[in-house]
Amino acid sequence: MRQQGVFEVPTMSPDPRVRVFRRSLQEIDELAGMEVDAYVVLGETYVTILDTLVCPADMAALMLLIEPEIGNRQLLCVNSHADWDHTWGNSYFRGPRRIPILGHEAGLQRVNSPEARQELAEYQARSPLFREVQSVPPTLTFQTRLTIHDGAMTIELLHAPGHCRDHLVAWLPHLSLLLTFDTIEEPLPCIEERADAPLLISTLERLEGLHAHYVLCSHSKTATPVLIQENLAYLREIVQRSRLLLARQRPTEAECEQAAKLIGYPFDKVVAQAREAFPGTFYRLAHEENARALLLWLINQP
Ligand SMILES: [Zn+2]
């Protein structure tokens, strides 16, 4: 049976100083089957929590599990990006539990946006799970790169846009471990903003160039460096098929709504080799949006 709530997944980590925690969302029908991971890195000076799951109670559960390990080390929190499933646990770290929250500059703007407030209100109307959530933005932000220097546990936070504009990854060079969060997913990555479509390709090219031995991502149970290559190949396939189409015809913006069909790359073909079960409706829509985003980007190129 699938585990519920927040639990540790010890088999995921290549090193005992990196702990992997998973939140399985069973409470809400539309999200049933969805899982998201957070990480705790036990360094020499710092204990760094990367992502805060979906509500403050999740963070309370996680803190209970790692409390004995913290000792007198400084707690830090990192938000990989401002999506709700990665940051709504931030509100645990308020008042007397306040700790520094690191994130990308653009994430700060997203958390404080009217759209984010509206999204929170909608989720709160849908489920009591989100009742205690308050939007808590990062308190330390950066643009390109920020390094947490911590002896043999250096964490490099690198801006990695594409899934969304404010996305960052965490590179732990001493362990050759890359925490990619939502830049890669099985069976396919998700471009949230059409304008960011080409950025995901350049980001994955950069991540591939790190030659990480170990790769973890937020939503796909397991991940390996091969998943970076596979996601990249998938995006390039969309680009190539789009170019072939554009050599023959120039579809209107309305026609581009059916981009996956237009370029002859239906969802069933994309996932034919998928290794694991996945939420089909979610990824079918994501594929259609990816195809649309990349085709429109190519059409609008000068
Ligand atoms: Zn996510």
Measured in angstroms, how far is the CA atom of residue 261 from the centroid of ligand 1?
Answer: 26
Count CA atoms within 13 Å of residue 28 on its CB side: 15
Tokens of 176: 């050759």
Measured in angstroms, how far is the CA atom of residue 174 from the centroid of ligand 1?
Answer: 26
Measured in angstroms, how far is the CA atom of residue 73 from the centroid of ligand 1?
Answer: 28
Question: 217 with 180: CB under 8 angstroms?
Answer: yes
Find all residues with CB under 8 Å of 72, minimum gap 6, and list them: none
pLDDT computed for residue 270 by the predictor: 93
Q: What does pLDDT average to over the chain?
A: 94
The confidence band for 278, taking pLDDT boundaries of 50, 70 and 90, is confident
Q: Which residue did the predictor score with more confidence, 61 or 196?
A: 61
| Strands ordered across the beta sheet of 46-50 | 5-8, 18-25, 34-42, 46-50, 74-78, 101-104, 140-142
Measured in angstroms, how far is the CA atom of residue 251 from the centroid of ligand 1?
Answer: 32
Measured in angstroms, how far is the CA atom of residue 218 from the centroid of ligand 1?
Answer: 6
pLDDT computed for residue 134 by the predictor: 95
Measured in angstroms, how far is the CA atom of residue 224 from the centroid of ligand 1?
Answer: 18
pLDDT computed for residue 280 by the predictor: 83
Identity of the residue numbered 43: G
**pTM of the predicted model as reported, rounded to 2 decimal places:** 0.96
pLDDT computed for residue 200 by the predictor: 97
Measured in angstroms, how far is the CA atom of residue 146 from the centroid of ligand 1?
Answer: 22
Question: 73 with 46: CB under 8 angstroms?
Answer: yes
- In tens, the pLDDT along 22-55 reads 999 887 777 777 899 999 999 999 999 999 999 9
Find all residues with CB under 8 Å of 107, minimum gap 6, and list them: 79, 81, 82, 87, 137, 138, 141, 166
Measured in angstroms, how far is the CA atom of residue 185 from the centroid of ligand 1?
Answer: 9
Measured in angstroms, how far is the CA atom of residue 179 from the centroid of ligand 1?
Answer: 13
Tokens of 197: 């479509």
